[in-house]
Chain A
Amino acid sequence: QITLRESGPTQVNPTQTLTLTCRFSGFSLTTDAVGVAWIRQPPGQAPEWLAVIFWDDDKRYSPTLKNRLTITKDTTSDTVVLTMTDMDPVDSGTYYCTHTPRLYASDTGSHYPGSFGVWSPGTRVTVSS
């Protein structure tokens, strides 16, 4: 059974860096095509994909946030860490991590993202002084 749980601060000050940790079980980030993604959801709004890291250390970032995001993995502790710099009140919301596959399109010979099957419960982050 796949489970994920995120941890981190519930409140950060503007301009500070947010660091969130996702601990998972039921799968390994050393397995081919496996990844962990981060998604956030501002209050009352749709979810927004942030970043993903795969078993081979392939990383993808949201184009609008890529300058502020870093995603890393630790396969010995089964954790994925997301850092987001220069936090602003508009970054407030619930942050989730999810299990996701990397898919392969045989017609184009390229990889593309999978959907998000199992989600963490979510952690609410408020950016305010």
Chain B
Amino acid sequence: DIQMTQSPSSLPANVGESVTITCRASQDIRNDLAWYQQRPGEAPKRLIYSASSLQSGVPSRFRGGGSGTVFTLAILGLQPEDFATYYCLQHNTYPPTFGGGTNVE
């Protein structure tokens, strides 16, 4: 299985700040990576697909980047509703695997 190592696991931040989350794949996954946001009690919501494409309806302050083995999710100017847990997902190879999550708090 491809391992997805996400960092940091916890990210203290304040409203208005910009933060970056990193995901590293154990092997080259091209740009077959998505980012998800999950609020407590809710299903994950896709923010970014194909590493850098913004999902329709998602604010432009979310920016995805990277390819190969290193990927980033940047949130430019945190809003109160952005405090949540974020996961990366690789879907290059079966089985699809998620990173361990980053709690933006």
A contact set with B: CB distance below 8 Å: 46-49, 60, 62-63, 96, 103, 112-117, 119-122
A63 CB contacts on chain B under 8 angstroms: 1, 95
Closest Cβ of chain A to B64, distance in Å, is 12
- For the complex of A and B, the 9 pairs showing the least CB-CB separation, nearest first, are A119-B43, A115-B34, A113-B91, A49-B96, A46-B98, A115-B91, A47-B98, A46-B101, A113-B96
A49 and B95 within 8 A (CB): yes
B87 CB contacts on chain A under 8 angstroms: 46-47
Q: How many A-B residue pairs have CB under 8 A?
A: 53
B70 CB contacts on chain A under 8 angstroms: none
A46–B54 alpha-carbon span in the complex (Å)? 22
A125–B98 alpha-carbon span in the complex (Å)? 21
Q: A46-B98, A47-B98 are in contact. Are A112 and B91 (CB under 8 A)?
A: yes
A114–B32 alpha-carbon span in the complex (Å)? 8
Closest Cβ of chain B to A15, distance in Å, is 25
B contact set with A: CB distance below 8 Å: 1, 32, 34, 43-46, 49, 55, 87, 89, 91-101
A119 CB contacts on chain B under 8 angstroms: 43-45
A46 and B94 within 8 A (CB): no
B99 CB contacts on chain A under 8 angstroms: 46
A47–B97 alpha-carbon span in the complex (Å)? 8
B91 CB contacts on chain A under 8 angstroms: 103, 112-115
Q: A46-B87, A46-B101, A63-B1 are in contact. Are A113 and B94 (CB under 8 A)?
A: yes
B95 and A62 within 8 A (CB): yes
A115 and B49 within 8 A (CB): yes
Q: Looking at the complex, which one of B32, B34, B55, B98 makes contact with A48 (CB distance below 8 Å)?
A: B98
A112 CB contacts on chain B under 8 angstroms: 32, 91-94
B46 CB contacts on chain A under 8 angstroms: 115-117
